[in-house]
Copies of this chain bind each other. A is one copy, B any other.
Amino acid sequence: MSTREVENTEERLGKRQKTGSYVIHYWDGVPGRAEYIRLIFEYTGTPYDEVKDNATLMTRVCDPGTVGIPPNLWPPALELPNGKWLGQTGVLVNYLSPKLGLAGYAKDDTDLDEDEKAYLSAKNAQLFFTVLDLFDEVHKVHHVVSSELYYEDQKAEALRAAEPFRAFRLPKYLQHFQSVLETNPANKDGKGPFLLSNLTTAADLALFHNLTGLEFSYPKRLKNLQESGKYELVFKLQERVQNEPKIAEYMKSNRRQQFSFGIFRNFPELDNEE
């Protein structure tokens, strides 16, 4: 770790201690799994900091002395304003969504009882984890044999894995989300579309992110699926979220890291119209 990086980290930690804001700990240089958390904070205007230091990340987020007990296994990890830590992407989403009004009901809602809120929150989590399943399948194509090996060392297998992904798996997910959007009564008369209730949820933000990533990784196949007209509401949701003022501003800011060598990679040899 360079001196400058140390200073940056200390500066950030200092800032955090003063503001008591959330801190995302993740790899530098790629949106990755942490992007689902960033989008939650950005959309809701929640202050957050990031510590991105690849040299010490794994020890930092996995060390019981730092993160408390029990420790985590993988990034991202989230440091809460009270100094406690949480790990596992979906757990972070599930923990933050109801607090920040992204679980299908407003933060200050007084009409629903606790059971109804818990159920909506679980439905948001159900949808989010289905989005994350798709994300994991994208990763699995280019790291098909093992995440312990380089892409170049498993390219033959990746070429084979990309075929059923493009032909069956990707359309299966798009069809599911299209069905979710078609059956949501809140989307009648061209409203939304929203995956759950008539509010933007963490699941909406996550699906937007996956579609943006798929445009980068599989531009030919995604264009072809879009032009089929079968998943109209799915692409309409992507457009809606992209045009939400806070998201539009974020996507243009330097806080948004570009797709490169993360989960969503562009290997032209893995893409095709089908």
Residues of chain A touching chain B, judged by Cβ–Cβ distance below 8 Å, are 62, 64, 69-74, 84, 86-88, 90-91, 94-95, 118-119, 122-123, 125-127, 129-130, 133, 136, 140, 144-149, 157, 160-161, 164-165, 168-169, 172-173, 176, 179-180, 183-185, 195-196
> Can you list 29 residue pairs at the A/B interface with Cβ under 8 Å?
A62-B176, A64-B179, A64-B183, A69-B183, A70-B126, A70-B183, A70-B184, A70-B195, A70-B196, A71-B180, A71-B183, A73-B130, A73-B173, A73-B176, A74-B133, A86-B123, A88-B129, A88-B130, A90-B90, A91-B94, A91-B122, A91-B129, A94-B125, A144-B161, A145-B157, A145-B160, A146-B169, A148-B164, A157-B160
Q: A70-B123, A84-B119, A118-B95 are in contact. Are A90 and B144 (CB under 8 A)?
A: no
In the complex, which residues of chain B have a beta carbon less than 8 angstroms from the beta carbon of A180? 69-71
**Given A71-B179, A73-B173, A136-B136: A90 touches B129 (CB 8 Å cut-off):** yes
Q: How far is the CB of A260 from chain B (nearest CB, A)?
A: 24
- Give chain B residues whose Cβ lies under 8 Å from the Cβ of A62: 176
Given contacts A73-B133, A73-B176, 16 further A-B contacts (CB under 8 A): A64-B179, A64-B183, A69-B184, A71-B176, A71-B183, A73-B172, A86-B119, A88-B126, A88-B129, A91-B122, A94-B125, A136-B136, A145-B157, A149-B164, A157-B157, A157-B160
A146 vs B158: C-alpha distance in the bound complex, in angstroms?
10
A146 touches B125 (CB 8 A): no
What is the minimal beta-carbon distance from A113 to any residue of chain B, in angstroms?
Answer: 12
Instruction: Determine the distance from Cα of A196 to Cα of B122 in the docked complex, in whole angstroms.
Output: 22
Q: Report the nearest B residue to A73, measured CB to CB.
A: B176
Q: Which residue of B lies closest to A186 (CB)?
A: B69
Q: A126-B87, A183-B71, A196-B70 are in contact. Are A161 and B148 (CB under 8 A)?
A: no
B184–A164 touching, CB < 8 Å: no
